[in-house]
Each structure stands twice: as structure tokens, then as C-alpha cells.
A and B are shown apart, each in its own frame.
Chain A
Amino acid sequence: MATRTLIPPEFRVLIDENACLQCRRCVGQCGWGVYSWDTTRNRPSPDHSKCGACHRCVTFCPGQAITITRNKLAFKANDNWAEQVMKAIWKQAETGGVLLTGMGNDKPYLRIFDHLLLDACQVTNPSIDPLREPMELRTYLGRKPDSVEVVAGSFESGGPFRLATELDTQLRLETPIMFAGMSYGSVSLNAHKALAMAAQELGTFMNTGEGGLHSDLEPYKDHIIVQCASGRFGVDASYLQSGAAVEIKIGQGAKPGIGGHLPGEKIDQQVSLTRMIPQGTDALSPAPHHDIYSIEDLRQLIYAIKEATGYKPVSVKIACVHNVAAIASGVVRAGADIIYLDGFRGGTGASPVIIRDHVGIPIEIAVAVVDQRLRDEGIRNRVSLIAAGGIRSAADVIKAIALGADACAIGTAALVALGCHVCQRCHTGSCSWGICTQRPDLTRRLDPEWGASQLTNLVKAWTHEMAEVLGALGVNAIESLRGNRERLRGLDLDENLLGILGVKPAGVA
């Protein structure tokens, strides 16, 4: 009994022996070691307990012989003591450890995006056909002045009027979608390259996460936001100066309030070089920045970074928590140019399950309350809001913008475009898709060129969809929808929540 686990396998790997070509590709493809080769039968022999349903073998089996099914063990019906609950208890009883997981919150909390509906024009006001008329999706992120002064200029200076107000530096996005911060170390260098290449192609930005900037990404630096988090990994003056902007990461939606532990196994020679730490040591990011215990301290770091970078835009990433509106107000007053709001469905390379599944609030609510609070205080123009943490589609992007965001960031959706099947085992470092691993035999599977084209296609498709929606709404610029909650209606949402979102119920004109 001592060597036996109480945890039954979650999946069963079924191999159609008639279709199997005995090519052994499944054995090579699985990073988790599910398959061994049975030499007597000359067939693959799966260890069901190691399967996480990432479908790498399914996708690459030339005979289409593999099917992954749920292990349909019957448990005595009990809504309270469900299978997953018991499995968690068994795992902890056997290891004594904190349960760790990857990706975002998978619990069935209310998905507010799916209860928000968009408006469209009918009869009395015309809709616009985006295929034939220009549709402006370009977005500028950064601090906007309280007022602008325009003076009459000469013909030589380019026109009769000239802007006399000196504007803060802005980030120009050709579409209001950017890539979320994912560090090199948690994801592979090829994943980083794919994101950087796509960001350049799309005219948007990728974000380094807290892992430094690999020298191979230098050519894309005008499309890269570099992150400075509590561990300060890979952060020096030249790194800060490399990016188009700098992001101070205070918190992350998947794990608000806690730091990060990148295990030593993932710190290979290249990661070590980029993070500037010795190979094989754990990369520990403390929970707080120890130079930030207050809004005044945050201001100090923001301006230290501005001093070190010649006043580039500084973004501050915070997790959406109960008091997010007041915190965001403080962050604006601390001098941030951009606030990155990360909702509780945001993904992660590794997080304790208890934090991921039970801490934080949804991005939909956070965007609405932050936008409203900043408007009420008359400081909304001083900051741009990025919404992230569970953005799954162009519909989510456009609803988030209508709720008050300036742009959205996608992490999980981008990885899914690269082949990720959200099997939630990023923390194990064995990703068979070569995305969330540093094992050379696995990372080489992800071709950056192919990845970049997948990402570019995805964002372009979303951008087209957004243009369609704007046309239906009868507006020709995303700016006209920004924070325009009048164009949203709530379905199946209670009065309290509608009030918080600032959205009317469906049926009310």
C-alpha cells in the first residue's frame, strides 16, 4: 500500500490497434512520459496516470489511432465531496505540499462577459460597412494632458494650427490588443520570439514578464514592454532603456499578493544569462517590492525608472482585488502612464491553487469600477487602462473597451494560438507543445515563424471582428465606444451587479 497512490488517473489513453502504424511517434512526442514501447507486443503502452490531455500525441499520430477520454470511474454521487475535492485531499495527504497549478482559474464562477450584450443600429441611425469605409482601431496608450493649447502656425510648419502643449510619450497600437507579460523562463525562448515577431508585424506590443530580455529579441525592442518586478531579474539600466515602455509589476491576476518561485530546473544556461542569476538556483520573486510600501514609494520607483529611461511611459500592473478602484486612483497619482488591470481569471506559469481559484475579482467588474472612479475624480485622462485576465475572444475585447478599457492584453489566448491545450501543467516544465518548458527536445518543436503567423492571424481576425461590431454600432472609431456603457446591456445579471458595472438591463432603452 505504501507505494500506491490513492489518486486514480484523470484520463484514459485509448489506442486503436488496427489504426496504429507502430511508428513510435507517440513515445517521442509525449513530454510527460506517458508512453513506453512494449517490445513483446510491438505496441505503445500508455501509463494513464501521467496523461493530462494535452493532445500532442493525438495531433501528431499519423494513423489517428489515439483517443483521450475521461477516466469515467463512478464515485458515489455527492455534490459536496466531489471527485476533484477528494483528489486534492489525497494529493496533499501523500505529499504534504501546497497544491500548485498552471493557467487561469478554472472554477465555474459567473462569466460576466457572457451576460453582456452589444447594441446595433436599426432604421433610425445607419450602421457602417467596415469593408468599404475606414474603421479606426488605432489606440494610443499613455498620459493625456488635462487640456491642450492649439496655436495658429505658419504654412511651413505644416498647417494653420499647431499643438503647443508638449505631450507625454505615447505607445501606438494599430489594434487595441497586446500580448500579456509572460517571462522567458516560464515560457520558452521560441514562444517569446513568436510573440515579439507577431507584435512587430501587428504594430502592437509584447511584454517580457519578469525574466529579462534575451539578446535575440533586440531587433523587436520597439515593440516590447519590459517588466520590472520584485525579483528585479534581468533588470539593469540598458534593459530598461531597451523597451518602448517599462512595466512595474505589483500583482498578477492569477496570484494576487504573492510572489513567484521559478524552480531551479527551469533555469538553464540561456535563462540564467537573461535573468542574470546562476544556473540551477531557484528564481524567487518576493511577494512585495521591498522598496514599495506606499503610493509615495511607488511614485519614487516610477520616477526612478523615468529618470533612468529618459521619461518613457511607465505602466503599473496590478491584480484586480476588492479595493481596486482606490488602488488605481493612487497609482494614477503616483505618476503611472498606464495601468494594467489583471482579473482573477488571468493565467500563470505556476500558482498555488488556493490563490488562483479563490483570490481576486473579475476583470469586467474591475474595469468598470476603475474607469468610473477615475472619471469621478477627474483623472481618467492621465492614465490608459489595459484590461486582461480571461480575454478569450474579440467579443470580450470589445466589451471590455465598452466598459472602460483602452486596450486589452491576451496571454492564455495567445498561447492557445501556439498550440496550448490549457492542460494546466505549465509548472511541471514538461510542456509537450514546447511553449512552457526549457527542455531543448521540447522547445525546438515550436517554430517561431509559424507561431508568429498563428498569432498574427488570430489578432488580425479579432481586429476584423471588432471592426464589424463597430460598424454595426454605427461608429467608425474604437474611441467612440471606449467607456461607452450605454451600448451594453446586461442579461441575467442582478440589479446590484448592473449598478456596479454601470450597465442597464436588456430591455431598457
Chain B
Amino acid sequence: MNVDSRAVRKVPTGPARKGPTGIEPARITAGQPGAERGHVRRMGHKSIIDCARIYYKTLNQQIREEIERGANEIVLEGVRGQRYIGTGLAYPDVTVVVNGVPGNDLAAFMDGPTLIVNDGAQDGVANTMNSGLVVVHGHAGDVLGYGMRGGAVYVQGDVGYRVGIHMKAFGDSVPLIVIGGRARDFLGEYMAGGEILLLGLHDLRKPAVGSYLGTGMHGGVMYVRSPINRHQLGKEVQIEELASSDYERIRTIANDYCRYMEINPDDIVSLPFLKIRPHTFRPYGRMYAY
């Protein structure tokens, strides 16, 4: 092992000096943020953690501890913007229920668990997520599903900018994002694989997407239930007719989405969708002189 956590001899030991505006690393010592642990109630395989005043690092440590103890359902009460909930969690049979608004990078690098948010979520949900399910019963922020390569994110409300950017599929891993409401600009930017379903459920008269839809897209597919003006499309994508297999796929996705949302799947499949696909899998193949 080449990692030495007790590099005693080589540590410069000059006079202690504090930086003028230095930020301390997240480290937990008595009397500092993070020292306080959340109160836990345990009922069989269910653990309820009171998170109201708990530092994110401690909270995430406690979540891992509860799972290690055998819990398969963790309920987080009073979440107030703690970051990285579910980040790097790699337990397939665990469900985490978030009551309150979680902070950025919810479920980043997550691999397996189910995460139910009974409120809105912030930026960076499912950043580079590998597998699992995130359900948001509210709105979600920017760059949701950045570099996501598997699993699903179901959002009940609207999402921000650059959602689904650079999602990619490989083998059996096909990431899926379903957005109940509207999405802002750059939906599916640089998208290399996977599926985005945009439902625009709340107001069908206005476009549910912003501009630069699918800019740089070179793989995957988007199904959009919204009028789209020509100028909103990225130059690398085109609108295609849906085949019957597309409608079957939308029906399958809608059925699963509606298991978590109080919507009838028939209401989702009743209106026509637009299918957005890239012109080419190699948009920049002819840009260079060799």
C-alpha cells in the first residue's frame, strides 16, 4: 500500500499560520459542525434518522452505518439541504426516503439503491449515477443526470438547465429520465445514449422545453410531449415519426413512472409525442484535417 496516512516525518512543521479567508476541510471534531449525530429510531429493518441539525458528512456516515447494521429502509426526517445524500451508495436492496429538501449531488455515483424524495431536489441529482432509482415528488434543479449511465430518475415537476447532459448507454445499462413538467434549455446536450421522456403534464399550450434541445446529441433518444419550434432544436438533432415500438416503450415507461406518481398512465400516452434523435452518431467526424 502506497498510501501513508501517518506521514509524520515529512510534514513541514513551520509556524502555524491561518489563511486569510481559508475554508477548512470537512473534518469532524468535538464542538465543530458534524460533531452532532442525528437521533435514530429503529423498527426492524427500518431506521428513521432525524436530520434537522446534522452536518452532511455525519448524516451520510450514519446512513451507511444503518445499512451496515442491516437496515433496508432508511427514512430521513427534516432534511435541510444536506449534500451528497446517497452519493456513492452501492447497495441494491436499500430504499432511502428523504423528507425535506436534499442538497446538491443527490445520488451522485449511486449504484443500486432507491431514493424517494418527498419534496423538491436541487442541482446535480444523479450525477454520473450507475444504477438505481431516484424519485422526486417536486421540482429538480440543473444538470440532473449528468453523465448518468444506468438506472432511472423520475421527476414529478419541472427541471432546470442541461438535464441529461452526456448521458450514455452501454450494453444492458440504459439510463432513463422522466420529467413530469417542463425542462429548461440544453435538455439532452451532448447526449450519447439512454432515454429522456418529457411529459409537459402541467400546461400543454406552451412548449415544455427551452432552446438548444439535444445540442451535440450523438446517441440515445428523447420523447417529448410538447410543441417544439424549429429554432429550439439543436443543430445535431431531428424530429422523427414514432414507430409502434416507440409507443410500446412509452407505455412501459409510463406504467412504471405512474407507480410512483398519482397519475393515470392513460393520460400520458393519450397525446402524440415527438421523437428527437441525432442526425449522426459522429457529429464531428469530418471536422478535422488529418
Contact = CB atoms under 8 A, between A and B. Distances in A.
A236 B84 contact: no
A167 B13 CA distance: 13
A278 B25 contact: no
Interface in B182-204: 189-190, 192-193
A38 to B, nearest CB: 27
A212 to B, nearest CB: 11
Interface in A300-335: 300-301, 303-304, 306-309, 312, 333, 335
Nearest to A334: B23
A479 interface: yes
A146 B16 contact: yes
Contacts of A333: 21-23
A238 B88 CA distance: 9
B229 to A, nearest CB: 24
Contacts of B88: 237, 240-241, 304, 307-309
Nearest to B148: A232
A94 B289 CA distance: 9
B162 A143 contact: no
B87 interface: yes
Nearest to B89: A237
A70 B87 CA distance: 57
Contact of B87 (A171, A264, A281, A307): A307
Given A97-B287, A237-B88, A379-B19, A308 B25 contact: no
Contact of B10 (A138, A284, A377): A138
Contacts of B11: 140, 144-145, 148, 167
B284 A284 contact: yes
A428 interface: yes
Interface residues of B, number: 71
A308 B21 CA distance: 27
Contacts of A304: 83-84, 87-88, 105, 108-109, 124, 127
Given A98-B288, A236-B109, A237-B130, A244 B2 contact: yes
A232 B288 contact: no
A140 B108 contact: no
B18 interface: yes
A163 B8 CA distance: 7
A222 interface: yes
Contacts of A217: none
Contact of A100 (B23, B147, B282, B290): B290
Given A169-B5, A236-B111, A290-B143, A282 B282 contact: yes
| Most B Cβ at <10 Å: residue of A203, A277, A291, A378 | A291
B219 A290 contact: no
B166 A308 contact: no
Interface string B126-139: 01101000000000
Contacts of A286: 165-166, 190, 216
A284 B109 contact: no
Contacts of B283: 282, 284
Contact of B20 (A98, A244, A291, A377): A377
Given A168-B25, A290-B165, A308-B108, A140 B57 contact: no
Contacts of A299: 23
Going nearest first, the 7 A-B pairs with the smallest beta carbon separation are A308-B88, A147-B16, A97-B289, A232-B147, A95-B289, A100-B288, A237-B109
30 contacts: A97-B288, A97-B290, A98-B287, A100-B288, A140-B4, A146-B17, A147-B16, A172-B2, A172-B7, A230-B166, A231-B166, A232-B146, A232-B149, A235-B147, A237-B109, A237-B130, A261-B287, A276-B149, A280-B281, A281-B218, A282-B284, A290-B189, A303-B84, A306-B26, A307-B87, A312-B3, A333-B21, A378-B18, A378-B19, A381-B14
Given A172-B2, A282-B282, 8 more contacts: A168-B25, A205-B2, A223-B2, A238-B90, A272-B170, A290-B146, A291-B127, A307-B108
Interface of A: 91-92, 94-100, 138-140, 142-148, 163, 166-173, 203, 205, 222-223, 230-232, 235-238, 240-241, 244, 261, 263-264, 272, 276-278, 280-282, 284, 286, 290-291, 299-301, 303-304, 306-309, 312, 333, 335, 352, 377-379, 381-382, 427-428, 479
